[in-house]
Amino acid sequence: MTVADLFAILPQTLLEGLLLGFVYAMVALGYTMVYGVLGLINFAHSEVFMIGAVVGLEVFRFWGNPEAPVIANPLLLLLVALVFAAAGSGIVAVLVERFAYRPLRKRGSKNILVPMITAIGVSFLLQDLTRIYAALRHNEFNMQYRTYDVLNQVFELPLQTTIQFKGVIVIVVSILMLIGLTYLVNRTKLGKAIRAVSQDMQTAALMGINPDTIISRTFLVGGSLGGVAGVLFGLLYTNVTPYSGVLPGLKAFTSAVLGGIGNIPGAMVGGLILGQLETLSGTYLPFLTNGNFGTEYKDVFAFLTLVLLLLFRPQGIFGQNVSEKV
């Protein structure tokens, strides 16, 4: 492969990185919202995302059954799947908050490890519950998304790049999500309350805000976003397992940290950077090292970049420098 070839595939690689980046960014929004309010790394968010993917799949199977489709139009079907997945994941996230995190908050322990271990426990629990569900209902572990011609339709773009219709949907939906979330946080009453609670829970409570309600709603919003991301992830990569939330969840969390956790545009930017890093290193590493270091090293690349960046900017790209209280 010549240098000219390397340049020829660059636009397509960048586009794919963009797509991956948007998926990470969508999931990262959920992490960042919860972190912004509670200061908690909600590891269970990757499972909330996975459950969204499973709910979407069930909608596709139930109403889009090829023999007797109730909703024949794939786009309408997708919309219904998105709505149901958002609702499903949102409810799961709220329940998790209600039954796992809230009791900890009431207890008032200052140890940051306790909520994190709970989050890990919740994530194990949700994984295996989904596994039981998949085993009983489908008698299999892998769940396949059906493909639709409309969604797989390929568009030719300039510079010899192509994109599938579902890719366009991913990009559009995630941009809408970012705009919607920014609007919600900055312009609405709920957003104002969320910001107040994230600043100081006790003072917010004195001002007549019920922190529990606000936290619950934050989880609802974050969970719904995760559910939508889950369906789109399922559409893009077609295969869903009870554990398919883990890796994207990890990457999304890395994105959130990269962008400055707790910061909404930061999560988006972090996701996009991580997506580009991964795709670029995945495509070019084998060429640059004569095939000695293959695509597998893309994760190494992503994590090492994170380490390097955090060394120079420990608070992430957009994070604010929190001054130490003594």
Partner 1 sequence: MNQFIFPFTLAFTALSILGAFLAPQNGLTNLALLVSVGLVSLGKLPTAWRSGLLAVLALALTILLRLNPNDKLAFYGLLGVLVAAFLLPNLSKLVRIALALAILFIAVPIAGLTNSFLFELGIQIGIFAALALGLNVVVGQAGLLDLGFAAFFAIGAYTWGIFGSPQAAQFIPGYPAEGLPGNYLYLFMALAVITAAITGVLIGLPALRLRGDYLAIVTLGLGEVVRVFANNLDKPLNITNGPQGITPVNRPDVGPLTEFLRAIGAERLYGRPIDEPIAYSFFFYLLVLVVIGIVVLVNIRLANSRFGRAWVAIREDEIAAKAMGIPLLPTKLLAFATGAAFSGAMGAVFAAKQTFVSPESFTLQASINILAFVILGGMGSIGGAVVGAAAVTVLNIGILKDFSDLLNTWRQTGVTILGYNMANLPPQLNPAKYERLVFGLILILMMIFRPEGLIPEQRHRAELQEARQEAKEGGGK
Please say which residue, 122 or 229, places its beta carbon nearer to partner 1. 122
The CB-of-186 to partner 1 minimum distance in angstroms stands at: 25
Q: What is d(CA 310, CA 173) in angstroms, rounded to the nearest whole number? A: 30
Which residue from 135, 127, 140 is spatially nearest to 47, judged by alpha carbons?
127
CB of 322 to partner 1, least distance (A): 11
100 or 317, CB closer to partner 1?
A: 100
From the list 56, 41, 17, the residue with the least C-alpha distance to 244 is 56
CB-wise, 63 or 293, nearer to partner 1? 293
Computed on alpha carbons and rounded to an integer, the radius of gyration of the chain in Å comes to 20
- What stretches of 143-239 show up as alpha helix (H) in DSSP? 149-152, 165-187, 189-199, 201-206, 211-237
Q: Which residues bind partner 1 (CB under 8 A)?
A: 35, 41, 100, 103-104, 106-118, 120-129, 131-132, 135-136, 139, 246, 250, 253-254, 257, 261, 291-294, 296-297, 299-300, 302-304, 306-307, 310-311, 314, 324, 326
Q: Which is nearer to partner 1, 78 or 267 (CB)?
A: 267
Whose Cβ is closer to partner 1: residue 82's or residue 92's?
A: 92
Of residues 149 and 324, the one with the C-beta less far from partner 1: 324
How many Å apart are CA 218 and CA 190, to the nearest integer?
A: 9
- Using CB atoms within 10 A of its CB, is residue 198 exposed (0-12), middle (13-18) or buried (19+)? buried
Least distance to partner 1, CB of residue 276, Å: 17
Determine the Cα–Cα distance for residues 224 and 222; give it in Å rounded to an integer. 6
Minimal distance in Å, beta carbon 87 to partner 1?
Answer: 24
Q: Which residue lies nearer to partner 1 by CB, 55 or 274? A: 274
Nearest approach, Cβ of 283 to partner 1 (angstroms)? 17
> Which residue do the tokens 């917010």 mark?
204
d(CA 103, CA 6) in angstroms, rounded, equals: 55
- Whole-angstrom distance, CA of residue 14 vs CA of residue 159: 12
Give the nearest distance from C-beta 20 to partner 1 in angstroms.
Answer: 17
Least separation in angstroms between CB 100 and partner 1: 5
Among 241, 251, 235, CA closest to 305: 251
Per DSSP, the residues of 65-105 read: -SSS-SS--HHHHHHHHHHHHHHHHHHHHHHHIIIIIHHHH
Cβ distance to partner 1 smaller for residue 42 or 218: 42
Q: Least CB distance from residue 304 to partner 1, whole Å?
A: 7
